[in-house]
Amino acid sequence: MASAIVIENVTKTYRMGGETLRVLGGISLEVAEGRFVALMGPSGSGKSTLLNLIGGLDVPDSGRLVVGGEDISKLSEAALARWRAANIGFVFQQYNLIPVLTAFENVELPLLLTSLSRSERRRRVELALELVGLKDRHGHLPTQLSGGQQQRVCIARAVVSDPRAILADEPTGNLDASAARDVMGLLKAVNETLGKTLVLVTHDPAAAAFAHETITLDKGSIKASPHEVPGAHP
């Protein structure tokens, strides 16, 4: 299987109030297409930073990042934005839905960047909402939805533009156990039925158990080599 994500010797350093913090020190990693990978590690291990780099929300200080066959480590901000729109779907811990837009409109948002017609956009949005089981709530505002429902809208938004990969940063962090289970199940289904490469950042082992493999990070480097999780969640 081709590698969807290739990370080669990537470093990232942050400057905070005069102090320099080396968050990632020379990480190398490969994720095959269609794989569901979990990144785990304690707070400050750099897992979120790595996710942001994969998603083109940030650029590495050194090293190479090839996602979907494209070297994104050297792209400009505008180019990254365009690339991101076409290739990546994000799911955040904080849902990050736009409060004044309905569920439908939130899911539609990424499609506004394309040249699809109105009817085509509607078709895709309805499909995505159906996938996450919220078709009947399409006219609701985020404030009218529960936490779990909001997160599912986010997942719908993440898949609606048919991205190459889905990146989820602590998607269950603000959810109770039951809602978390639903969301993880949904993500798993997206990975399996749609074949989307999925990289999950989490500190919750129960969530990581849904993935094909778990990679552990500590202090900016990979601690344990990738291993298959025996008996991955049915």
Partner 1 sequence: MKYLALILKSLVRSRRRTLLTLSALAASTFLLTGLASMVRSADVTPGVGELTLSIGGVQGPLPSAHVDRIARMPGVRAVMGFMYAGGAGRQESDRLTLAGIDADALQLIWPDTLDIPPSEFEPFRRDVTGLLVGREAAKRNGWTIGDTVTLAVSAGNGSKADMTFRVHGFNVEGAWGNISYIHRKYLNESIGRPDYANSIFLSAQRREDIPTLMKAIDETFAASPHPTRTQTHEQSLTDTVATMSNLRALLGGISLIVGIAVLLIATNSMALALRARAREIAIMRTLGFTPNRIFSLVLGEAALVGLAAGLLGAAVAIVTLQGITLPMNPRAAFSATPAAAGTVIGATVVLAVVGAWLPAWGACRRRAIDVLRSLG
Three-point CA angle 26, 27, 31, nearest 5°: 155
Strand partners, 62: 11
132 in helix, strand or coil? coil
- Alpha-carbon distances of 44 from 52, 85, 152, 157, rounded to whole Å: 14, 28, 27, 28
Please report whether residue 57 would count as binding partner 1 according to CB under 8 A. Answer: yes
173 in helix, strand or coil? coil
Q: How far is the CB of 84 from partner 1 (least distance, A)?
A: 5
Cβ proximity to partner 1, 55 vs 212, nearer residue: 55
| Among the listed residues 165, 170, 168, the one whose alpha carbon sits nearest the alpha carbon of residue 41 | 170
User: For residues 168-227, which are near partner 1 according to CB under 8 A?
Assistant: none
User: For residues 124-163, which are near partner 1 according to CB under 8 A?
Assistant: 157
From the list 1-9, 30-38, 54-62, 210-218, the region that binds partner 1 by CB under 8 A is 54-62
User: For residues 64-103, which are near partner 1 according to CB under 8 A?
Assistant: 77-78, 81-86, 90, 92, 94, 96-101
Helices (H), the chain: 47-54, 77-87, 103-108, 118-131, 147-160, 177-194, 205-208
The footprint of partner 1 on this chain (CB under 8 A) covers a number of residues equal to 27
Cβ proximity to partner 1, 197 vs 214, nearer residue: 197
Q: How far is the CB of 89 from partner 1 (least distance, A)?
A: 9
* CA dist., res. 8 & res. 61, Å (int): 12
What counts of helices (H) and strands (E) characterise the chain? 7, 10
Cβ proximity to partner 1, 30 vs 174, nearer residue: 174
The single residue among 18, 118, 178, 230 that binds partner 1, judged by CB under 8 A, is 118
Please report whether residue 234 would count as binding partner 1 according to CB under 8 A. Answer: no
Strand partners, 37: 199, 213
Cβ proximity to partner 1, 108 vs 212, nearer residue: 108
Quick count: other Cβ atoms within 10 Å of Cβ 167? Answer: 27
The single residue among 33, 58, 126, 162 that binds partner 1, judged by CB under 8 A, is 58
Please report whether residue 52 would count as binding partner 1 according to CB under 8 A. Answer: yes
Where does this chain bind partner 1 (CB under 8 A)? 52, 55, 57-58, 77-78, 81-86, 90, 92, 94, 96-101, 109-110, 112-113, 118, 157
